[in-house]
Copies of this chain bind each other. A is one copy, B any other.
Amino acid sequence: MDTPAQKKRPRGRPRCDASRTQILEATNALLEEVGYARLTMEGIAARAGVSKATLYRWWPGKGAVAMEAFMDATKPRIDFPHTDSAVADVTAQMHLLAAAYRGATGRLVRELIGLGQGDPQTLAAFVESYLLPRRAAAKDVLRRGIAQGELRPDINLELLVDALYAPIFHRLLLQHGPLDDAFIRGIAASAFAPALLPR
């Protein structure tokens, strides 16, 4: 029995996978070193030992390369702890997130979101590949909390996730206050307050 959806190899020379890897690695290195604002396509090409034509063949501009490079480097880590309290799990993850956002990751996320404000496709890519999977994971944990009788069953999950994470992004992007543990504790407490069931 044949594989029904067998891969139809296209005609010409196949895409050189080493190039892709080298480009994304070079981009990540440069993002680390100089940030997005001073990232250039020429710099990426030179660092990766790749011609500019190859860059432009596969990505429309530096926004797209940066986004894919960031996604490539950030892919595997959506890590919620798993104890018997969903509220504690989400709160712990919020602390981890804030810690990450205080460092190099924070600068990158800020710059990518900033970049997205002038480039709808980049923003869409960021939301699709980064934000929504994390929100989905959070909602899964919260649904567990509902099933366990920890949270009210009639809460609006979407709204609760916004209430929990929006303040973190707000402070990350506006820098009008610290992203410290006290702040996280405060927003977790006030966001969870109307959703908690007495036990």
Tally of this chain's copies: 4
Main secondary structure of the interface of A (DSSP, over half): helix
Q: Which of B113, B123, B194 contacts A193 (CB 8 A)?
A: B194
Which residues of the partner chain B approach A160 to less than 8 Å between Cβ atoms?
190
Which residues of the partner chain B approach A132 to less than 8 Å between Cβ atoms?
176
Q: How far is the CB of A43 from chain B (nearest CB, A)?
A: 16
Q: Which of B123, B162, B177 contacts A170 (CB 8 A)?
A: B162
Q: Which of A2-10, A16-24, A81-89, A114-122 contacts B (4 or more CB under 8 A)?
A: A114-122
A187 interface residue (CB < 8 Å to B): yes
Q: Which of B113, B158, B174 contacts A127 (CB 8 A)?
A: B174
A173 lies within 8 A of B127 (CB): no
A191 interface residue (CB < 8 Å to B): yes
A137 interface residue (CB < 8 Å to B): no
Q: Which of A128-176 contact B (CB under 8 A)?
A: 131-132, 135, 156, 158-160, 162-163, 165-167, 169-171, 173-176
Report A59-83 CB contacts with B as 1/0, cut-off 8 Å: 0000000000000000000000000
- Given the known interface contacts A118-B36, A193-B193, the answer about A170 and B176 at a Cβ–Cβ threshold of 8 Å is no
Using A126-B174, A166-B166 as known contacts, list a sample of 15 further A-B pairs with CB atoms less than 8 Å apart, ordered by residue number in A. Answer: A110-B117, A111-B117, A113-B117, A114-B114, A123-B175, A124-B175, A127-B176, A131-B176, A132-B176, A163-B163, A163-B191, A165-B170, A169-B170, A169-B173, A193-B194
